[in-house]
Amino acid sequence: MKKLIVVSLLVLLVLMPVLIGCQKKAEVAEPAVEAEPVLKVVNLLNGVLGDKSFFDSAAAGMDLIKAEYGDKVEVKTIEMTYEQTKWEPTLLDIADEDWDIIIVGTWQMTEMLQEVAADYPEKRFFIYDTAVDYSLGLENVYSILYSQNEASFVAGAMAAAITKSDMPLANGDKVIGFLGGMDIPVINDFLVGYIEGAQYVDPGTKVAISYIGSFSDSAKGKEMALAQYNMGVDIGYNVAGQAGLGQLDAAKDMDRYAIGVDSDQAAIFVETDPAKAALITTSVLKRVDQSLLRAVKLHMEGKAPYGEAEVLGFAEQGVGLAKNDIYEELVPAEIKAIVDEAEKKIRNGEITVSSAFGMDSDAMNNLRNSVKP
């Protein structure tokens, strides 16, 4: 009796994968009957959602693509978490599946993508916020860069105008603040634009610069922002993901102004902490969502520039300033005029903003030291 049970269980166990396999095949077979091919787009995040920054924005981009094309596309966002060892295997697995377009982002994915993209020439890849090395070929990769330096230029112009204005929380010192996550090119690109923008309005503007050394330690971010506000900074700009949110807390403690980054950071607090939101004059937006929608549109039209890196600025809606209710109410008309003028001059090429990419570290240090108070 016992033997019989064991044998029947074993048989069942052997048959199980076959049975399951049958079922799966039936499922997969169904969409193949449809006449129109569905574009399958997958978005791999090398982090998790909830960063209030560009991973959230990338996920929002997938929703935009779905909303635009409906049944013609199949979209999916996968959170690979911050565990670096999971990134390459996931990318390889996904490349093996039947996705048409695979999207990744950030400089940390560049090298992995360069290897994988070369091995899967029939697949299409987008990478945002960084560019792959096109000397390796890679005709199937489209790199999306953002001109964060241009948007930061406008923010810097606004900050310099505010610090010398007679707005209620501005003090006499012409010192503005910059709180970066790490001393890396993409963060410094924000900084370079910010400094140039500030000096465009007033060459005497000083910029207090701190790097947190982390994108998650918001307590340390607050501590550094407090140190800046204490030394006479009356408006600060945070470019440090979640860690930068500490600056907004510091702004509320000290009653000073702040500038958000990536997404509209005033919107995070407008419901739960309106007093804090009211100090966030604007946010420099990096529109990952719009850029992904645009890339898929270009792909649909057969115009996506594979094998190239493209820099998206104001004109392509790649970057922008959050001109929300707080901005409209808080910022005086003459400063708004400065902001609009700077934006216009960048759009028509009257102003070219330098970039931190390709800048050597000596030049970077000299620039930083030249504006430190």
Positions in the binding site for other proteins (CB under 8 A): 48-52, 56, 183, 208-211, 213-214, 216-220, 222-224, 226-228, 230-231, 242, 245-246, 249, 268-269, 271-273, 365, 369, 372-373
Query: Which residue lies nearer to other proteins by CB, 8 or 230?
Result: 230
Minimum CB separation of residue 214 from other proteins in Å reads 7
Query: Which residue lies nearer to other proteins by CB, 110 or 238?
Result: 238
Q: Which residues lie below 8 Å from residue 146, measured CB to CB, with a gap of 6+?
A: 128, 129, 286, 287, 288, 291, 311, 312, 313, 318, 319
Yes or no: say if 121 and 128 are a contact pair by the CB < 8 Å rule: no
DSSP assignment of 280-301: EEEEEEE-HHHHHHHHHHHHHT
Distance of alpha carbon 291 from alpha carbon 312, whole angstroms: 8
Query: Which residue lies nearer to other proteins by CB, 88 or 183?
Result: 183
Query: Which residue lies nearer to other proteins by CB, 20 or 219?
Result: 219
Minimum CB separation of residue 9 from other proteins in Å reads 33
Query: Which residue lies nearer to other proteins by CB, 161 or 268?
Result: 268
CA end-to-end span of the chain, whole Å?
88
Minimum CB separation of residue 329 from other proteins in Å reads 21
Minimum CB separation of residue 243 from other proteins in Å reads 9
Minimum CB separation of residue 371 from other proteins in Å reads 10
Query: Which residue lies nearer to other proteins by CB, 242 or 354?
Result: 242
Minimum CB separation of residue 123 from other proteins in Å reads 29
Which residues face 237 on adjacent strands?
A: 178, 259
Minimum CB separation of residue 241 from other proteins in Å reads 9
Distance of alpha carbon 322 from alpha carbon 330, whole angstroms: 13
Minimum CB separation of residue 173 from other proteins in Å reads 13
Minimum CB separation of residue 101 from other proteins in Å reads 25
Distance of alpha carbon 99 from alpha carbon 42, whole angstroms: 7
Neighbours of 14 (CB within 10 A): 9
Query: Which residue lies nearer to other proteins by CB, 185 or 307?
Result: 185
Distance of alpha carbon 212 from alpha carbon 223, whole angstroms: 9
Query: Which residue lies nearer to other proteins by CB, 52 or 287?
Result: 52
DSSP assignment of 85-131: GGHHHHHHHHHHTT-SEEEEESGGGHHHHHHHHHH-TTSEEEEESS-
Q: What 3-state class would DSSP assign to 166?
A: coil
Query: Which residue lies nearer to other proteins by CB, 174 or 222?
Result: 222
Alpha helices in the chain (DSSP H): 2-33, 54-69, 87-96, 110-119, 148-163, 185-201, 218-230, 245-254, 265-269, 274-277, 288-300, 325-330, 333-347, 361-371
The Cα-based distances of 5 to 8, 11, 17, 47, 56 in angstroms read 5, 10, 20, 47, 52
